[in-house]
């Protein structure tokens, strides 16, 4: 990392720490410096050098940056800049001071707590809100981009300590004329969070993001992913064949209204599933607020700060 630090220092980015590492890239927390003692904490996503030379990975990284540059929404992590140095591409992104849902779940297991039902539903409703915006996005000429995230899962959903919920990592998203896409040939996404369409290498539309978001909701409520298995192929098989339980039998405080929402989100036949993220968002908000006061960003932020002490 020493050479990386030196290179980015010349670009006025001070690399602070590694946030996350994946097979193709690394994300750093960095301090951006400017004139007049300007400082801003950002995240820098760097594609690994060996992948920067492969055209499809290079094109996808550029495509992701171009795509998310125009996705300006409070429930989506913002991208500020795409750059290249020493043959490697990097993105400068919004730094979210908080945790991802995988860390959120792990902390609950550590302290022996269950996530309150209303907060679980609220978190997923905020992701549905971000997806509604992304799914409806058009380009400057009014052409619908047909965005499908295709990688909804616990690692790609962030909660800031202020309570904001943000969807990130559009690295394998599908979007018209922007992303390298082998749909129909490869399985895109993580096996335990696939939609049935992804698991069978079928062509996807926006409904493919609804099924994994339903999985995330049940994982928050139960503390585990019912489809996850030790073997990747078994996880994929579970997505296609595991009987969908009645979740109120697994957690009694899941009421009839929430059960109905979960069951509709997890319909394997996509024509029976929620047809849009907006419909899912509407049902979750009716569930949360129809009787009066419900959860807010501030309530979630206070809860997270207390949890992570």
pLDDT tens per residue, range 10-26 = 678 898 999 988 767 88
Report the alpha-carbon angle 261-219-189, nearest 5: 95
Q: Are 215 and 230 spatial neighbours (Cβ–Cβ below 8 Å)?
A: no
Query: How many Å apart are CA 35 and CA 140, to the nearest integer?
Result: 33
Q: Are 89 and 63 spatial neighbours (Cβ–Cβ below 8 Å)?
A: no
DSSP output for 172-203: T-B-TTTS---BTTB--S-GGG--HHHHTT--
CATH number of 98-307: 1.10.510.10
Q: What distance lies between CA 220 and its chain's CA centroid?
A: 14
41 φ, ψ (degrees, to nearest 5): -80, 125
| Blockwise average pLDDT, block size 10, the chain, 309 residues | 63 88 85 93 89 82 88 96 86 96 98 98 98 95 92 97 96 70 66 96 94 98 98 97 98 98 98 98 97 94 97
Query: How many Å apart are CA 20 and CA 5, to the nearest integer?
Result: 16
Annotated catalytic residues are: 151
The structural domains of the chain, with segments of one domain joined by +, span 2-94, 98-307
**Torsion 290-249-125-308 (CA) sign:** positive
pTM of the complete model: 0.93
pLDDT computed for residue 128 by the predictor: 98
HSE (side-chain half, CA atoms, 13 Å) at 233: 0
* The architecture CATH gives domain 2-94: 2-Layer Sandwich (3.30)
């Amino acid at each position: 990392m020493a050479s990386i630090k030196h290179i980015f220092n010349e670009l006025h980015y001070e690399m602070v720490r590694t946030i996350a590492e994946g097979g193709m890239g690394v994300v750093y927390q960095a301090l951006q410096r400017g004139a007049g003692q300007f400082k801003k904490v950002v995240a820098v996503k760097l594609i690994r050098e060996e992948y920067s030379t492969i055209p499809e990975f290079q094109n996808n990284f550029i495509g992701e940056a171009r795509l998310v540059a125009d996705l300006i929404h409070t429930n989506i992590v913002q991208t500020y800049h795409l750059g290249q140095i020493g043959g490697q591409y990097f993105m400068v992104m919004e730094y979210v001071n908080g945790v991802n849902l995988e860390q959120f779940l792990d902390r609950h297991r550590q302290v022996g707590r269950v996530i309150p039902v209303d907060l679980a539903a609220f978190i997923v409703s905020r992701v549905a809100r971000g997806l509604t915006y992304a799914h409806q996005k058009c380009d400057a000429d009014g052409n619908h981009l047909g965005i499908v995230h295709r990688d909804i899962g616990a690692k790609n959903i962030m909660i800031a300590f202020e309570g904001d919920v943000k969807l990130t990592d559009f690295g394998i998203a599908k979007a018209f004329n922007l992303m390298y896409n082998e749909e129909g040939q490869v399985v895109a996404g993580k096996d335990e969070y696939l939609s049935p369409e992804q698991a069978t290498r079928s062509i996807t539309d926006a409904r493919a993001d609804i099924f994994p978001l339903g999985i995330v909701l049940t994982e928050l409520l139960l503390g585990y992913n019912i489809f996850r298995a030790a073997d990747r192929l078994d996880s994929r098989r579970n997505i296609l064949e595991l009987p969908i339980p009645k979740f109120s039998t697994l957690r009694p405080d899941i009421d009839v209204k929430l059960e109905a929402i979960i069951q509709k989100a997890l319909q394997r036949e996509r024509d029976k599933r929620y047809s849009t993220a907006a419909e899912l968002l509407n049902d979750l908000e009716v569930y949360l607020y129809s009787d009066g006061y419900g959860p807010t960003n501030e309530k979630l932020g206070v809860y997270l700060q207390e949890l992570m002490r």
